[in-house]
Structure formats: structure tokens, C-alpha cells
């Protein structure tokens, strides 16, 4: 992580410009912001770095979700947010908790009152009581690798570096409070962060882990490789592809771990036991060794599987550790280095070690889209989304039936896919789309989101429009929380039906006074140049026309309100609903 010669270096550093230097050194180019009186000096100094772009969001929760999407999609796999004191911290907490569940590297920087105010036994705005001015510090301890406050300019650089290093080494979020009176105070120049990384690097047990994995592999006759979501934060697609080729065995991905070419001859589809791809599930259950990389064993991932009954055949390679069938745990390990060592170990290929099912691919529920007034259906939507995906695109599915809809879409090579499966926070998808599109400007982000989830975080459409981003949003309007309905019916599952297309195009409007923004030019275009278009899709002909427009106006945000019948849900959601309902009984 040696700093580039092009990194912006001021002649004299203060705490704010020091932090900006570190952000750029990490490879982060954008940071997400909600301003407040406690972080304004900090923001002023961050903006002195000309190679960092500030992305203002509508609220702090959304900054966290946007950072989540950015951390997944950016090359550096790291994101930064800047928020106000306590009110901002408690608002963003839910998003950072979700990022923790995915082991995402997010640096949360919060302004806070001057040090004198923090030490006074006096009521202060944004605090729950005069004696509880560390509320955010306390709550972030449970979801971060470090939760710290800078207490002086003399120790600021050390605190910032130690905290960032914990974020990088542990692949977890961190939280840093910067008092208002310290943000602009001079501090020392930064040494290369890569030097500090080498200092904290611990001896690993990769050699021992490699021997144990190869030993278990050699004893197996019909192994399978299982890929989970955590590979996306630590392993490249190329590494996974090379490992698959070296092993030769069947490969299945968890629904949030689709990190291999889905045209690969060894790919057996998704592993979601009891929910979908029963043929692929048989391949796994008939195997005598499961080699899992970055696998999650949450109840959502495995609603029909008792892991305690399977540990005798599981080798689990996780970030920092390897769990073996004999209950041994080997740690610490460097997962990326261990995978490369496994590839180069000359491990024996296990191709064709047992009979395959007649069909080794999960059935995809698709239907031809007709140029007719036939009603729009979920299956025609699957086909439409499948048809627009291109290399360098990113597909995101918010929590709900869109999870299962996405499972019926084959990802072309070069298309990334993100869902938040274990934490399952409804509404994550809209701001995550913002973050992913900012991080991955080459290609477009395609979002699948239900009307319930959209209503929670809809404001961030305005940020996409303001930044002239061009994602494609498919709003599945099925009139309520259908995921909840399959679990337990009740009046609480129904929401107001918005005019979503009018809403999407209302987020940019002529200001009532000029100049509108003293720090920018006129950012409101004529109506003919609006960077967004929206259509209500009721029929298959509507969908065809909208898909053509997506291709034709590919520089604009495309918003499709897809009006599907409330009872048109995937069979997988129905099945999962039954299992969840039974578990709650």
C-alpha cells in the first residue's frame, strides 16, 4: 500500500488534511456525508484534497447503506462516511451493523463538540444526558473493530492510523470521533501506511492450514466447493476461478456468494438448501467433503440444514481462520495467500468423482415477453432483466422476493451481484445502488427493489439524479410487504400506494431562488435534459418499450415501476415463508 506520488500532499498538515491523505492512500476516491455543526471544520479540511469527492446524502442511515454498496463494488473494498455527533451516529448504526455482518471495511468519522464541552457536566445538544456524551462511542463498540475518540492533536495521527489499520487487517468497520476544536489543528506529516501494516502483520499459520486442507481433501472421494459472500471482500474472481480449475470438483455458490462464471462447466448453481436448486443440493448432500470458502451459516442461508450434523465433512476457510472436521481451528491465516498456496500446491483434481443428476443447473423461470397488452408478470420481468445485463454491470437485489427473482437470472461474465442476506435490512438496496454506481462508473447498476423497501430509503434517488448517475431501477410494486405476508398475514403488511413514477421525476425541480448553490454552477437542467426518466409498466408491451428506452437513453437514470399482481410471488418465497413461519411457531 505504498502511497502514489500523485497523492495530494499539503505543505503543512492538520488533523483533517491528515485524515484526507489517509483516505486517498487507501484508494478511496469518494466519501459520503451528512453535514452537522460538529463536523463542518472537518469537512472543510477534507475538501482541501482535490482528489476526494464528497457525496452528500439525504440522511445518515442512507450514507451507511451507500458506503456498504461502495465498499462492495470499489477496487479498494473500503468506504468512508462523515456524520454529525450522536444523532448521526445512532442513525447510521443500523447500516454499519449490516456492514459488520458482511465484514465490510467502512470508516465512520463523526464530528463531536470541542474537548472542553465534552468534559463539562453540562447539557449539550445531540446528547441524551449531560453525563452521557459518549453514547455513540459505546454503541459502536458492538459492531466495529474499534470505536475511538481523538483526545488531542498530538495523539491524533497515531489514533487515526491505529484505527484504520484495524479496519484493514480485520476487514471490519471502525468508528472515529473528531472533536470540532481538533479537526483543524496542525499535526505531523504521515509516513506511508504500508510501513505500519508491515509492523502489525502477525506470523500466520498458513502452512499448517494448507497441510490440513490438502490432507482432508486427499481422503475424500466426492468433494464439493462451496463459495459464500465473504469471498467478495478478500478474494478476486481470478483467484476463485483458478481454484475451481485446480480442484476440478462441482462448485456451488450461496445466494450472496455468486463469485464465479456461471458458464463454468463445474458450476452446479446456487446452494440454498430447502429453498431452491434441489438437484444441486443433492450434489452437496451426497458429497463426503465440503470445502467452504467465506460461507455463512445463518438461518436464512440454511433454513433446512443443521450444521451440527455436517461438521464431520466440513472444511471452512474463513477470513482469518480455518475450521476442520476434527474440531480443530487454525488461526490466524491470510485467506488470500492461503488460497493461492492451495492453487499452487499440486492438489489432486477430483473431477467426475461421482454421478451427477440429470440436470446440473437450477431451472430458470422465464417467459417470452410479448408485444401485447397481456399483464406484466414476475416471469416476464425476469426475462427483461436478464436481457439488459452486460459486462461491467452490477445487479443488486433488496431484501424480499427480489432475492428469489434474482436467483432465476443467470449472471453474464463480468456482472457482479450483491444482496444483504443474513442481516436482511429492508431498504438497503436503494442507497447501496448509489454507492455501487459511484464506485463502479464503468457499467450500470441494476436494482431490484420492492415497494416496501423503496419507501424506506427513496430519498437517495435525488442524490443519484443530482450526480447524474445512470442506474436502472426495477421497482416491484406488489402492494405491500409480501415477504412478511408469506410468513404471517396481517394488516401491518400493507402500505400506501405511491405514484412512484411521479415521485422519481419530482426529485429535481427548478429552485425558487438563485443562485441556488454558491459553490457550483446552475445544476438544474431544462426539462428536455432531465437526467432521469420513469415509466409505469403494466403490460408486456410497456416492458418491451421500456427495455428499448433503457438501451437508447443509457446515460440517464431509468426508473421502472413494475405493477405486478400481489399474489404473483416466486415459489421460493412461498417455501421460505413456510419454513420461517414454522420456526416462529
Cα separations (Å) of 546 from 395, 533, 540? Answer: 18, 10, 10
Burial of 416 (0-12, 13-18, 19+ CB in 10 A): buried
In 251-365, at which residue ranges do the beta strands (DSSP E only) sit? 251-253, 267-270, 289-293, 314-318, 321-323, 329-330
The pLDDT tens digits for 16-64 are 999 999 999 999 999 999 999 999 999 999 999 999 999 999 999 999 9
User: In which element (H, E) is residue 505 found?
Assistant: helix 500-505
Q: What are phi and psi of 504, to 5 degrees?
A: -60, -40
Does residue 277 have a known ligand-binding role? no
Rounded to 5 degrees, what are φ and ψ at 372? -145, 175
Mean pLDDT of the chain: 90
Which pLDDT belongs to residue 6? 57
Establish whether domains 205-345 and 378-510+527-584 are of one fold: yes
At the top level of CATH, the class of 205-345 is: alpha beta
Q: Give pLDDT, residue 308.
A: 87
pLDDT in tens, 174-191: 999 999 999 999 999 999
* Domain map (residue ranges) of the chain: 15-199, 205-345, 378-510+527-584
Residues β-bridged to residue 446: 395, 472
- pLDDT for 389: 96
> For residue 308, how many C-alpha atoms fall within 13 Å in the half-sphere facing its CB?
0
Q: What angle, rounded to 10 degrees, do the helices at 335-343 and 237-247 form?
A: 40
Establish whether 151 is an annotated binding residue. Answer: no
Q: What is the DSSP letter of 409?
A: S
Low-confidence spans in the chain with pLDDT less than 50: 1-5, 353-355, 357-360, 362-363, 524-527
CA–CA separation, 61 and 133 (whole Å): 21
User: Which fold would CATH assign to domain 15-199?
Assistant: Rossmann fold (3.40.50)
Kindly write down the DSSP assignment for every residue of 75-113, as one continuous string.
TT-EEEEEE-TTHHHHHHHHHHHHHHHTT-EEEEEEEE-
CATH 3.30.565.10 fits 378-510+527-584, yes or no: no
Cα R_g (the chain), whole angstroms: 25
Helix ranges restricted to H, 413-567? 429-439, 451-457, 460-466, 482-487, 500-505, 540-552
Q: Does 451 count as an annotated binding residue? A: yes
Distance CA 47, CA 59 (A): 20
C-beta neighbour count of 303 within 10 angstroms: 18
Residue 28: helix, strand or coil by DSSP? coil
In 10 A of CB 116, how many CB atoms?
Answer: 9
Query: What is the model's pLDDT at position 493?
Result: 81
Question: Where are the strands (E) in 93-245, listed by range?
Answer: 105-112, 146-149, 174-179, 223-227
The contacts of residue 410 (CB under 8 Å, 6+ apart) are 262, 364, 386
As a whole number of angstroms, the distance between CA 246 and CA 240 comes to 10
Q: The pTM is what?
A: 0.93
Predicted local distance difference test score (pLDDT) of residue 360 = 42
pLDDT in tens, 497-514: 999 999 999 998 777 777
Work out the widest C-alpha separation in the chain, in whole angstroms.
Answer: 75
Contact (Cβ atoms closer than 8 angstroms) between residue 24 and residue 17: no
How far, in Å, CA of 507 to CA of 58, rounded?
12
pLDDT computed for residue 132 by the predictor: 83
Amino acid at each position: 500500500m505504498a502511497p502514489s506520488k500523485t497523492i495530494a500532499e499539503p505543505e503543512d498538515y492538520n488533523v483533517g488534511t491528515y485524515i484526507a491523505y489517509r483516505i486517498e492512500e487507501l484508494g478511496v476516491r469518494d466519501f459520503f456525508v451528512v453535514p452537522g455543526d460538529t463536523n463542518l471544520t472537518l469537512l472543510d479540511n477534507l475538501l482541501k484534497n482535490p482528489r476526494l469527492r464528497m457525496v452528500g446524502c439525504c440522511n445518515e442511515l442512507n450514507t451507511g447503506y451507500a458506503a456498504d454498496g461502495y465498499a462492495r463494488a470499489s477496487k479498494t473494498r473500503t468506504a468512508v462516511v462523515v456524520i454529525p455527533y450522536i444523532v448521526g451516529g445512532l442513525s447510521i448504526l443500523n447500516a454499519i451493523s449490516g456492514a459488520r455482518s458482511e465484514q465490510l471495511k467502512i470508516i465512520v468519522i463523526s464530528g463531536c463538540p470541542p474537548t472542553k464541552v465534552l468534559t463539562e457536566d453540562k447539557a449539550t445538544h445531540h446528547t441524551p444526558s449531560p453525563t452521557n456524551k459518549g453514547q455513540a462511542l459505546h454503541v459502536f463498540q458492538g459492531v466495529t473493530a474499534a470505536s475511538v475518540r481523538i483526545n488531542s492533536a498530538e495523539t491524533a495521527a497515531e489514533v487515526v492510523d491505529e484505527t484504520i489499520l484495524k479496519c484493514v487487517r480485520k476487514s471490519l468497520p471502525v468508528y472515529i470521533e473528531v472533536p470540532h476544536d481538533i479537526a483543524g489543528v496542525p499535526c505531523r506529516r504521515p509516513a506511508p501506511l504500508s510501513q505500519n501494516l508491515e509492523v502489525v502483520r502477525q506470523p500466520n499459520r498458513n502452512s499448517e492450514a494448507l497441510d490440513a486442507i490438502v490432507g482432508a481433501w486427499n481422503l475424500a472421494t466426492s468433494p464439493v466447493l462451496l463459495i459464500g459472500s465473504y469471498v467478495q471482500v478478500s478474494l478476486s474472481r481470478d483467484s476463485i476461478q483458478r481454484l475451481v480449475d485446480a480442484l476440478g470438483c462441482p462448485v456451488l455458490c450461496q445466494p450472496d456468494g455468486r463469485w464465479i462464471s456461471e458458464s463454468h462447466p463445474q458450476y452446479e448453481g446456487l446452494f440454498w438448501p430447502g429453498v431452491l436448486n434441489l438437484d444441486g443440493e443433492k450434489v452437496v448432500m451426497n458429497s463426503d467433503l465440503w470445502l467452504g470458502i467465506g460461507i455463512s451459516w445463518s438461518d436464512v442461508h440454511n433454513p433446512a440444514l443443521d450444521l451440527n450434523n455436517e461438521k464431520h465433512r466440513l472444511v471452512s476457510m474463513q477470513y482469518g481462520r480455518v475450521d476442520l472436521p476434527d474440531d480443530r481451528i487454525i488461526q490466524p491465516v491470510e485467506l488470500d495467500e492461503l488460497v493461492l498456496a492451495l492453487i499452487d500446491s499440486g492438489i489432486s483434481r477430483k473431477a467426475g468423482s461421482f454421478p451427477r443428476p440429470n440436470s446440473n443447473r437450477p431451472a430458470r423461470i422465464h417467459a417470452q415477453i410479448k408485444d401485447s397488452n397481456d399483464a406484466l408478470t414476475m416471469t416476464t420481468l425476469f426475462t427483461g432483466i436478464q436481457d439488459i445485463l452486460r459486462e461491467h454491470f452490477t445487479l443488486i437485489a433488496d431484501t424480499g422476493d427480489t432475492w428469489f427473482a434474482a436467483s432465476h437470472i443467470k449472471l453474464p461474465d463480468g456482472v457482479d451481484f450483491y444482496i444483504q442476506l443474513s442481516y436482511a435490512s429492508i431498504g438497503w438496496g436503494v442507497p447501496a445502488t448509489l454507492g455501487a454506481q459511484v464506485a463502479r462508473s464503468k457499467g450500470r447498476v441494476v436494482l431490484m427493489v420492492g415497494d416496501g423497501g423503496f419507501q424506506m430509503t427513496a430519498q437517495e434517488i435525488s442524490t443519484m439524479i443530482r450526480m447524474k448517475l445512470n442506474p436502472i431501477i426495477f421497482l416491484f410494486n406488489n402492494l405491500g410487504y409480501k415477504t412478511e405476508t408469506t410468513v404471517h398475514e396481517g394488516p401491518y403488511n400493507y402500505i400506501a400506494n405511491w405514484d412512484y413514477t411521479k415521485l422519481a421525476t419530482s426529485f429535481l425541480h427548478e429552485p425558487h431562488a438563485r443562485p441556488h448553490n454558491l459553490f457550483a454552477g446552475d445544476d438544474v437542467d431544462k426539462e428536455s435534459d432531465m437526467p432521469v426518466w420513469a415509466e409505469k409498466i403494466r403490460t408486456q408491451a410497456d416492458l418491451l418499450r421500456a427495455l428499448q428506452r433503457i438501451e437508447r437513453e443509457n446515460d440517464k437514470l431509468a426508473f421502472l415501476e413494475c405493477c405486478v399482481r400481489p399474489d404473483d410471488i416466486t415459489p421460493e418465497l412461498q417455501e421460505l415463508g413456510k419454513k420461517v413461519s414454522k420456526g416462529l411457531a
